[in-house]
Chains A and B, each alone.
Chain A
Amino acid sequence: MTLSRRTLLKSTAAATVFSTIGLPSLAAIDELVIAYNVTLPSWDPTVGPSAVNPTLQGYYLSVFDLFIPQNPDLSFGSGIVTDYGWTDDNTKIFLDVRDGVTWHNGDPLTAEDVAWSLQRAANPDTGNPIQFIWGKISNITVDGSRVTADVVEFEPTIFKWMSFLTGYVMPKKYYEEVGAEGFEAAPIGSGPYKVERFERNAFVRLVANEDYWGGAPDFKTVTIKFVTDAASRVAEVESGNSHVTLEVPYEEYDRLREQSGIEGTASPISDIGMIFLNDIEIMQDPNVRKAAAHAIDKQLIIDRLLSGYGIAIDTLQTPDYIAFDPSIEVPYDPELAKSLLAESGYGPDNPARFTIQTTRGFKPKDYEMIQAVVGLWRRVGIEAEIEVYEIAKHFELRAADQLAPAAFYNWGNSVGDPTTSTGFAMFGPSPHSVWDGEDTFNKILPLWGEADEAKRIAGWKDVDRSIAENAEVIPLLQYVQPILHASGVRVTPHRSGALLPHLMTRA
């Protein structure tokens, strides 16, 4: 083969261009690059709106430790707090703090840090959105490695909240030295990764915490890029610019995981899709509600619209949740739906009419699913008009109890307790509930403070059964989270939906 002068010049120019702009590395992965679907607005995981945003917990869990960690299957583990419990009379709680843990700056993590974190969370002035839970303990004291606190109001789920939103251990000494602004600029935690660099709205670069109490992570450097557009995330993985991404359209997931060098993991997460029923207007008629529930073929919707990625549910508990009861079923039965409607005088010639609200593009195929639901309803004699709204309007209407008779929404509950699913979604006084029925209110009310755990869970199952029988809400499906990753990476999905780099290893 002869090499002409022109070919040589072209090759040299191309090599120069490539070396300047950089091609994605095809060699073994040294630095893990993740294309994440949400940007990180704030580093303090205990205050402000970000602290209660479930989609941001993946960032926080990489840098900070929860009081009590949650395993990938949502079971509770041993972490900074190694043992915990109530006194026999439920008037005090205790937490035993792990020895030998250090903060990212090398300072020792002590029981003082845990106590201070709890005190800070309980203080209304700090702006912790879950203060209503943390405020149920007080007089927090330290004795060696044990933290104890008085119970102001018995809260059966308080230890679960220590694995949930805002339940993070914060560095007392460092935070008091640098203040809130200093902490935002240079956050430290005790988690598996340290923050090396943070470009707001662009990326965060993490380096492994080699002294992590749970063992140093496999990837020593991780860059998490904020790629909010789904098409761009697909391109990131397809081009090799990122090794891992999540929340891509199911069709793209199926296409890309067939490609050489890309693999996929699709696992159920704790998010569910549901239709709120507001007990106003026509929804005060139980026959209409029940007909609406029985007319929906959930599995058909999952198969046709979500490429089979989803699990049909009939209560607000997914199979992973502690109060899940498989015996509660609301089967697809269009004939039953027709007869229920007929009892109330409705039918194809005189359809039951109401509005259903939905987001469009907020969750995968949300609008399309509601279109399908409306189509199924039409077959039995329900004419629903779809109203598309933004998620911000949904929150506003829900808080004001002004949702339409039916409204699609998704609900996350990684802690898996019935209080944080059925409880907040169906208890009338909650700002997140639009169901005002007294029966359900009276059934739920005593469960908030029930000390007997078995009795408490049994009580919630009863509530779920009653809700299902009366069709006070229409649960649709448990979501499955698609994760695409390079073949060189092994990804362990977490049921909470958080994509955690310390659970990733070299394949």
Chain B
Amino acid sequence: MIFLRALLTRLLTMAITLFGVAVVVFFLIRVVPGNPIAMMLPPGATEEDIARLQALYGFDKSLLQQFLIWSGDVLRGDFGTSISLRQPVSELVLGRLPATLELSLFALLIAIALGGLMAFLGTLYRHSAAEAAVDVTTGTALSVPDFLWALVLILLFGVLWPVFSISGRVSPSQAFEFTTDFYIIEAFLRLRFDVVAHLLSRSFMPALALAIPLAAIIAQLLKQSLKETMHLDYVTLARTKGYSETWVILREALPNAVLPTLTLIGVQFTFLIGGTVIIERLFSYEGLGNMAIDAVINRDLPLIQGIVILFAALFTVINLVVDMLYVVLNPKLRHA
């Protein structure tokens, strides 16, 4: 009952948040200089042509009228038509979302694997040179932003030792016919592991660039939690029973130490998705972030609005899921 009430409260908060985002993004991008109509004016455009274009895209009405029309349409699921791509915004953003989600999830998995491994090694070899090496590595990983990692990776594994693809989500020579936009998941479900391997290899570089800073954060926090847990009585007891240090860390200390990290991962995952904007651009990856940059350059207001609303919805859903997961995993909250 308490869980259900908490869920309903969060859903209500989500709706209010999304409305706030809609208001802010709608008015903010209209205040920012750059008129989409001015960008598409042909050389011989007359005043009538300009007025016709403004009417066509609804810019001839007051801001409030525009907002009311747009928000009414959004409630009916119509996010308008992209000015530059001349297609429904909902189709465009939903078509791109799977690419960004797959990239982000892949990056998250890499970050958890790398971060977890570093934390484990740092804990296993604590108070030794190995722990110092882990600390230096995570410090370095954290101090360099993801887009710089992307450039480093492009240079190392795209140019100097060109073993990974540095552009695009799928190879032009890949003949597999996808029926959905979730390429990796679809190929996996259709048991085409060769295609899965191909897609993962294409996504590996951008995913790694996104993952490195998050992996460092996970490593630092999880190692700290593990080290604190390793001093607790029940861990000492497990050790006196003769279990190996690896077993003690993974089976005894980790389940309790992982909770703060889990919360952090939820929060950081939203930042990771935000990072896809630049990373997708650098790797020419056809996701939502790449589309967002084009939309901003072209002052494609309906598309910008659609992308921002979708990102906001995504972030709030992720936060909700993490919070609910935390309640489920934490016995203290579950039985409160």
A residues whose Cβ falls under 8 Å from a Cβ of B: 17-18, 20-24, 31, 33, 35, 39, 41-42, 47-50, 52, 124, 129-133, 184, 197, 199-203, 205, 223, 225-229, 231-232, 235-236, 238-241, 389-393, 395-400, 420, 424, 430-432
Q: For B86, list chain A residues within 8 Å (CB).
A: 41-42, 47-48
Q: What sequence of 0s and 1s flags, for each residue 182-209 of chain B, a beta carbon within 8 Å of any chain A beta carbon?
A: 0000000000000001100100000000
> Once the chains are docked, how many angstroms separate the CA of A392 from the CA of B50?
16
A229 touches B284 (CB 8 A): yes
Within 8 A of A (CB), among B195-229: 197-198, 201
Q: In the assembly, what is the distance between CA of A241 and CA of B158, in Å?
A: 9
CB distance from B146 to the nearest CB of A (A): 14
Q: 10 closest Cβ contacts across the A-B interface?
A: A392-B34, A396-B35, A21-B201, A393-B33, A201-B286, A399-B38, A129-B42, A395-B38, A424-B43, A239-B162
The reply to whether the CB of B107 lies closer than 8 angstroms to some CB of chain A is no
Nearest CB in chain B: distance from A474 CB, A = 21
- Is residue B275 within 8 Å, beta carbon to beta carbon, of the partner chain? no
Map CB proximity to A onto B150-189 as digits: 1 under 8 Å, 0 otherwise. 0100110011001111111111110000000000000000
CB-defined contacts of B297 to chain A, threshold 8 Å: 390-392
B85:A396 contact, CB within 8 angstroms: no
- Supposing A199-B286, A201-B291 touch, asked if A232 and B167 sit within 8 A by C-beta, the answer is yes
Q: Is B73 an interface residue (CB 8 A)?
A: no
Add 18 more A-B contacts to A239-B158, A395-B35 (CB < 8 A). Answer: A130-B42, A184-B87, A199-B169, A200-B95, A201-B294, A225-B168, A229-B282, A232-B284, A235-B154, A235-B158, A239-B162, A390-B34, A392-B34, A392-B38, A395-B34, A395-B38, A400-B38, A431-B43
Question: By CB atoms of chain B within 10 A, which of A47, A133, A240, A395 has the most?
Answer: A395
The reply to whether A21 and B164 contact each other, CB–CB distance below 8 Å, is yes
Q: Interface SS of chain B: helix, strand, loop or mixed?
A: loop
Q: List 27 A-B contacts (CB under 8 A).
A: A31-B173, A41-B85, A48-B86, A50-B84, A132-B42, A199-B170, A199-B172, A201-B291, A223-B172, A225-B168, A228-B290, A229-B281, A231-B151, A231-B154, A231-B282, A235-B159, A236-B166, A236-B167, A241-B165, A390-B34, A390-B297, A395-B34, A396-B33, A399-B38, A424-B43, A424-B44, A432-B43
Q: Does B83 contact A (CB under 8 A)?
A: yes
A430 and B44 contact, CB distance less than 8 A? yes
Which residues of chain B are within 8 angstroms of A392 by Cβ–Cβ distance? 33-36, 38-39, 297-299
Interface size class of B (residues with CB under 8 A): 35 or more
**Distance in Å: Cβ of A241 to nearest Cβ of chain B:** 6
Cα separation A423 to B166 with both chains bound (whole Å): 44
B60 within 8 A of A: no
- Interface SS of chain A: mixed
Whole-angstrom CA separation of A336 from B240 in the bound complex: 93
Cα distance, A108 to B212, chains bound together (Å): 56
On chain B, the residues within 8 Å of A203 by CB distance are 168, 172
- Let me know if B286 and A49 touch, CB within 8 A: no
User: B284's contact among A41, A130, A228, A399, by CB below 8 Å, is which?
Assistant: A228
Say yes or no: B49 contacts A132, CB within 8 Å.
yes
Q: A391 to chain B: closest CB distance in Å?
A: 8
Residues of B within 8 A of A31 (CB): 173
- Contact A241 B41, CB 8 Å, known A226-B284, A229-B281, A392-B35: no
Residue of A nearest to B33 (CB): A393
CA gap between A229 and B150 in the complex, in Å: 12
Residues 301-330 (chain B) with a chain A CB within 8 angstroms: none
A24, A41, A225: the one within 8 Å of B172 (CB): A225
Roughly how many angstroms separate A49 CA and B84 CA in the complex, as a whole number? 6
List the A side residues contacting B37 at CB < 8 Å. 399
Which of A47, A205, A240, A393 is packed against the most chain B CB atoms within 10 Å? A393
Partner of A21, one of B159, B165, B173: B165
- Collect the chain B residues with CB atoms within 8 Å of residue A430's CB: 43-44
Interface pair B151/A399, CB less than 8 Å apart:
no
B79 close to chain A: CB less than 8 A: no
Known: A22-B171, A235-B158, A393-B33. Contact between A133 and B44, CB under 8 A?
yes
How far is A233 from B87 in the complex, measured between Cα atoms in Å? 28
Using Cβ atoms and an 8 Å threshold, which residues of chain B touch A35?
167
A243 to B164, CA, bound (A): 17
Say whether B33 contacts A227, CB under 8 Å: no
Nearest opposing residue in chain A for B287, CB measure: A201
B128 interface contact, C-beta 8 A: no
Among A184, A200, A201, A400, residue most surrounded by chain B Cβ atoms (within 10 Å): A201
**Whole-angstrom distance between the alpha carbons of A120 and B53 in the complex?**
18
A-contact 0/1 string along B255-291, CB 8 Å cutoff: 0000000000000000000000000011110100011
**Cα of A240 to Cα of B165 in the assembled complex, Å:** 11
CB < 8 Å neighbour of B33 from A21, A41, A205, A389:
A389
Pair A395/B166 contact, Cβ less than 8 Å:
no
Q: Does B40 contact A (CB under 8 A)?
A: yes
CB distance from B329 to the nearest CB of A (A): 36
Contact between chains at A241 and B38 (CB < 8 Å):
no
- Inter-subunit contact A129/B172 (CB<8 Å): no
**Nearest Cβ on chain B to A48's Cβ, whole angstroms:** 5
Interface residues of B in 35-79 (CB under 8 A from A): 35-46, 49-50, 52
Cα–Cα distance between A133 and B42 once the two chains are bound (Å): 10
Q: Is the CB of A205 within 8 A of B172?
A: yes
Report how far A391 CA is from B154 CA in the complex, Å.
29
For A238, the chain B residues whose CB sits under 8 A away are 159
Flag if A227 contacts B44 (CB, 8 Å): no
- A24–B172 Cα distance when bound, in Å, is 13
* A420 and B34 contact, CB distance less than 8 A: no
Shortest distance between the CB of B52 and any CB in chain A (Å): 8
Considering the chains assembled together, what is the distance between the CA atoms of A390 and B45 in angstroms?
22
Q: With A and B bound together, what is the CA distance between A308 and B169 in angstroms?
A: 37
Complex Cα gap A227–B290 (Å):
11
Chain B residue with the shortest CB-CB distance to A196: B172
Decide: A17 near B163, CB < 8 A? Known: A202-B168, A241-B158: yes
Interface centre among A41, A52, A133, A238 (most CB of B within 10 A): A41
Contact A240 B43 (CB under 8 A): no
Candidate in A228, A240, A420 with the most chain B CB atoms within 10 angstroms: A228
Nearest B residue (CB) for A31: B173
B163 touching A21, Cβ below 8 Å? yes
For residue A225, give the distance in angstroms from its CB to the closest CB of chain B.
6
Most buried by B among A24, A199, A431, A432: A431
Instruction: Among A22, A132, A223, A236, point to the contact of B44 (Cβ < 8 A).
Output: A132
Q: Are A241 and B172 in contact (CB under 8 A)?
A: no
Chain B residues whose C-beta falls within 8 Å of the C-beta of A205 in the assembled complex: 172
State whether A20 and B42 are in contact (beta carbons under 8 Å apart), knowing that A39-B294, A396-B34 are contacts in the complex.
Answer: no
- Report yes or no: A20 in contact with B163, Cβ–Cβ below 8 A: no
Q: 1/0 per position for B127-148, CB-CB distance to A under 8 A? A: 0000000000000000000000
